[in-house]
Amino acid sequence: MSRRWPGDLALGLRLALGGGGARTAWARLALTATGVGLGVVVLLSATSLPHMLAARADRSAARTPVAEAVDGVDPVRAVQRTDEFRGRGLQGYLVQPTGPRRPAAPGVDRLPGPGEAVLSPALAALLRSPEGELLRPRFPQRVIGTIGDTGLTGPNELYFYVGTESFARPSQAHPVSGFGGAPIRRGLDPLEALLVVVGATTCLVPVFVFVVASTRLAAAARDRRLAAVRLVGADRGQVSRIAAGEALLGAFAGLAVGAGLFLLVRVLVPRITVSAFRGGIFAADVVPDWRLGGPVLVALPLLACAAAVFALRKVVIEPLGVVRRGTRVRRKLWWRLLPLAAGGALLAGRLGAEDARDPFVIAGVVLVLAAVPVVLPWLVERVAGLLGGGSPAWLLAVRRLQLDSATAARLVSGIAVVLAGSIALQGVYARTESDRPPSGDVRVLATAFAPSVAGAREFATALRALPGLAGVPVETHGLLQNAAGEEFSLAVRTCAELAIAGCRDGDVYATDRIAPGDRLWSDGADRTKPPHWTVPAAGYHVTAQEGAPLLVTPAALATATGVALSANATIPAAGPEVVERVRNLVGWNGIVSSLDTERDGTSALITRVLSVGSVLVLLFAAGSLLIAAWEQLRERRSIFAALMANGVGRGVLARSLLWQLAIPVAVAAAVAVLAGLALDWLLLTLVAHRPMVFDPATIVVLVATAAAAVLLVTAVTLPALWRTASLEHLREE
């Protein structure tokens, strides 16, 4: 028997290429290969994620400053600065050379000196463009070069090295003799791990669902070919092997198409500039992990063969024809609920699991999502059986669903899985958002470093001169230390702000821990040098409030030299233009934070990438629905031609096609909503011990998106329907 396998598989390959006419066979193969190829490119892209993250982390670590002294290298003093421009991250280093032999940074020929800058290609292009007009004041230096790929995490990253003569806060500068460190990878908290698990399964499960569906395209034509093979003497075992051979051809063609599409993705991915990818992705980083991708590529042909053979279980292929069912057997429900029950049991069994990446948690999520396409055929069959009369278009659609509900369920199963996973994903995301502390009404916090009270006043005056910021309060603070290393917070206030009776400019209000004549230095300053400020005896007052900051009126700091002060302004509301002008005013001698949108970087990256991934997979599901709909039109062209010949208008056929998609999608949406909410409850309540967050608006938007996909598919298939309904197709069998 084993000797007949190669011959039977080869016969299946030949029948797939030539059965039913070369043109029809190639069209059928193209549809199958496209469907499988889309799945392959998604899977290869997913298995490339570990290499992408590792490569980015390695390049980020390679540019990490190292303080250890290196022979023959004059260290530079460096301060890291992180900023933002129109929602895009902007970061780099301010460097102060101490000698001509500067250390080499990755991707940089030489570090810049005072008045010079080295920029990433994306940042240099942005500054040259009209869009970068508001950013140019932050980079008045002469650009002496660009940073190479080895010094960037992505092709669109905004990164810089700027030379400077001095720092507003010298204590923040550290000597750097080289670059290169170990990658730092922050662990995921439980909710972030849940986001990753749900997002990954939501993106991957629909791929396998549609790969299975793609191998069953043109099933009726395949069954007729197998009946002809039976007529010339093939037994049932040979029929199964020939069917597997036909599926193999589509799977192998899909692998080739998927590989080609993946290479195209590698070429196009550096052009992606959305903030979700944090500076973009280098094409060289998109490398599949063959430990994961290899088994997947091997499993896809096997999955295709298994699906093709499994599809024959209720088909009786005899020499004189094909009988799909001798008697109509209603589908059973009990075994279709087993994946859901098993998934729920696995998640419940991991009650309070510390890590959502636990294999049992992942298996539970996969089983719950996989239950959606398993239950759908039973439910679509029951709903179609309950539907009654109506318009001719409605009757045609309902009758078709009653005769073949399984095909309709397979068409929408991918969208149902995406919808269920997206609902669960949004539920976990909403939980992470609600767990974040509210930011209040503050939009922007601007902090400018100044070496004197006069410098802080200049910043306050310039800030209030910006449009809409005339009344913004500005507070001046500092941090001082005595010779023993004790820290004292400093607050500079006018007498009007202090509202203390008898206050005069030059007064000092301190606790008994500070006495007149105490010598104080700014935080981190060199104690071997003269103090920055000596507490004056004139105007000195002791406050009884324990732990209160050192309150100093401006004139009391007249004798201070080089005190590191911070002028802080809270801006309740500001538009993007004003925020960028505030950033330009602060420059690199301060920090500007958007408190209402500032989020943890890892959480932001996860949620953004998963949101993009969900949209792409939804488009993939819509594309798979379109391919399957086209195949259905080709398979039923003689039926449509007969209806046209009997006076059925094209409008009736178009509306019937819409109903044939809309009814299963409505059922799929109901199942997906229930499955998504159930999965959300299982994950949050049982695994993460968090209360569930119900967001009906998001669910409505997701369901509406699925409905829009159906309308779009129907609209795109209308031209094919007009061609298919031609009367000349009456001659086809």
Assign residue 450 a region: left if phi > 0, alpha if psi is -120 to 50, beta otherwise? beta
The answer to whether the CB of 269 falls within 8 A of the CB of 281 is: yes
What's residue 276's pLDDT?
Answer: 55
Counting every residue written for the chain, the total comes to 733
Calculate mean pLDDT across residues 340-348. Answer: 85
Radius of gyration of the chain (CA): 34
Distance between terminal CA atoms of the chain? 35
CA distance 474 to 463: 9
What's residue 214's pLDDT?
Answer: 64
The answer to whether the CB of 95 falls within 8 A of the CB of 76 is: yes
CA distance 96 to 172: 12
pLDDT at 612 over 70: no
Calculate mean pLDDT across residues 319-338. Answer: 66
pLDDT at 606 over 90: no
pLDDT at 246 over 50: yes
CA distance 151 to 618: 35
Decide the pairing of beta strands 565-571 and 508-510.
unpaired
Cα atoms found within 13 Å of the Cα of residue 330, Cβ hemisphere only:
8
Closest CA to 213 of 34, 22, 456, 42: 34
pLDDT at 62 over 70: yes
Q: What is the pLDDT of residues 638-668, one digit of tens each?
A: 777 777 777 778 788 888 888 888 888 889 8
CA distance 206 to 370: 9
Residue for token pair 């309902």: 398
The per-residue pLDDT of the chain, averaged, comes to 78
What's residue 238's pLDDT?
Answer: 75
Provide the pLDDT confidence category of residue 363 given band limits of 50, 70 and 90.
confident
Provide the pLDDT confidence category of residue 733 given band limits of 50, 70 and 90.
very low
The number of beta carbons lying within 10 Å of the beta carbon of residue 731 is 8
- List the structure tokens of 296: 């997947």
Q: What is the pLDDT of residues 150-164, one digit of tens each?
A: 999 889 999 999 998
CA distance 13 to 304: 14
pLDDT at 696 over 50: yes
The answer to whether the CB of 542 falls within 8 A of the CB of 512 is: yes
Provide the pLDDT confidence category of residue 119 given band limits of 50, 70 and 90.
very high
Lowest mean pLDDT among 150-159, 166-175, 202-211, 673-682: 202-211
Calculate mean pLDDT across residues 256-278. Answer: 80
Calculate mean pLDDT across residues 707-718. Answer: 79
The answer to whether the CB of 244 falls within 8 A of the CB of 30 is: no
Calculate mean pLDDT across residues 441-467. Answer: 82
Q: What is the dihedral sign for C-alpha 278, 283, 284, 286?
A: positive
